Amino acid sequence: MLRMSAPVGAIAAQAAPSGHVGWIARRGALLALILTLLAALMITGCSRGKKSSSQKLSKRVVALGQPVPKGGGRYKVGNPYKIGGRWYRPKEQPGYNRVGVASWYGELFHGRYTANGEIYDMNALTAAHPTLPMPSYVQVTNQSNGRTLVLRVNDRGPYAHDRIIDLSRRSARALGFERNGTVRVRVKYLGRAPLDGDDSYERQFYASQRWARYADLGGAAVSKPKKVQVAQATRNKVQADPIVVGSIPDGSETKSGSRTTAVAGNLMRAPRGGHRMFFVQASSFKSRTAADDLNRRLSEIGPSRVLRVGEGREARYRVRLGPYAWRHDADQMLREVVSIGLSDAYMVTQ
């Protein structure tokens, strides 16, 4: 760090002719201000890199294949938050009625906490929205086939700029766009949903549709919510965060001798010749050590690597996950990466 015995402006004034003292003093003061700002930016960049590389991934609280308890969360609107350079401002929106692109998310988040403290069930009629209250009801209509569902919003997302809502896998399948990954929909806000997780309203609406098959949802009567025992410290963290905390399966769900989880392995598909491939750039560092540290952590949720760009002092180290043959798979991984705190992550197509 540089030490100065006198302000830059004062030194410049002492060395200048009397007719130019004022101009040079002002110029010196401006130079000092610029140096101060540059130093602050360097410090901010270093601290940010350390924070990103040390993020810890939380564990799944309900294993795949096990019943997921309903409810258990809290009513939440939330404070404004920033993801990927874009501000989101949660609020009550009784007149919300918009058309946009919907996507869906599944196994990667199944059995983990949602943004309001419930547990995500990919087989339930639920959805994630960036700003609507939680839990609440929305009516979602597929614009391509006219199918309509009532869904429970209990999570935050998606964070891609062209999306307005993220549906559970079951909801996407019912609306007929699971294979496509995205579809244009109309979303209408209906009001608050019960905290106990009672999903009889959503299921009955589904059953009333001519195109629906109630047996697909397990036609039995709605069971009472079950209690789930989890660490209080974990629940407190979930309640304090504006978005869902990212997580990975516990050790029992990880393949022996491999750093790639079964879930991440299922999302990865073999590259197809002649087609575009998708990657998720998690972060970029000047330090190779910081990049390697983040890469080790991300390798637990999917295939990742460090790419060097540039030479010498201009070199940067980019941490990327992929490749993915399908945009939907990359979308799900991007959501996971953003949810663990890497808010500047974005998708790369090659």
Give the span between the Cα atoms of 198 and 19, in whole angstroms. 81
Percentage of the chain beyond pLDDT 90 is 41
Q: Is the pLDDT of residue 161 over 70?
A: yes
Q: Is the pLDDT of residue 259 over 50?
A: no
The verdict on domain 58-240 having CATH code 1.20.1250.20 is: no
Q: How many residues does the chain have?
A: 350
- Nearest C-alpha neighbor of 163 from the set 145, 148, 183: 183
Largest CA distance in the chain: 93
pLDDT digits 0-9 by tens, 49-89: 333 333 444 578 999 899 999 999 999 999 998 887 789 99
Q: Is the pLDDT of residue 116 over 50?
A: yes
The DSSP call for residue 117 is S
Residue ranges of domains in the chain: 8-53, 58-240, 254-349
Which CATH superfamily, name and number, covers 254-349? Sporulation related repeat (3.30.70.1070)
Structure tokens at 105: 């998310």
Q: What is the mean pLDDT of residues 264-279?
A: 53
Per the model's pLDDT, the better-predicted residue between 42 and 127 turns out to be 127
CA 37 to chain centre: 31
User: CB neighbours (10 Å) of residue 15?
Assistant: 9
The DSSP call for residue 254 is B
Give the span between the Cα atoms of 232 and 235, in whole angstroms. 5
Q: CB-based burial of residue 294 (10 Å sphere; 0-12 exposed, 13-18 middle, 19+ buried)?
A: buried
The reported pLDDT for the residue numbered 306 is: 94
Lowest average pLDDT, out of 190-194, 329-333, 337-341, goes to 337-341
Give the side-chain half-sphere CA count within 13 A for 173.
12
Q: Say which amino acid occupies 117.
A: G
The reported pLDDT for the residue numbered 205 is: 92
The answer to whether the bond into 158 is cis (omega within 30° of 0) is yes
The answer to whether domain 58-240 and domain 254-349 are alike in fold is no
Cα angle, residue 39 at apex, residues 38 and 43 outer, rounded to 5°: 115
The reported pLDDT for the residue numbered 108 is: 86
Whole-structure pTM over 0.75, yes or no?
no
The reported pLDDT for the residue numbered 32 is: 54
User: CB neighbours (10 Å) of residue 58?
Assistant: 17
Give the span between the Cα atoms of 94 and 313, in whole angstroms. 53
pLDDT digits 0-9 by tens, 304-335: 999 999 888 889 999 999 888 877 778 878 87
- Nearest C-alpha neighbor of 348 from the set 261, 201, 48, 327: 327
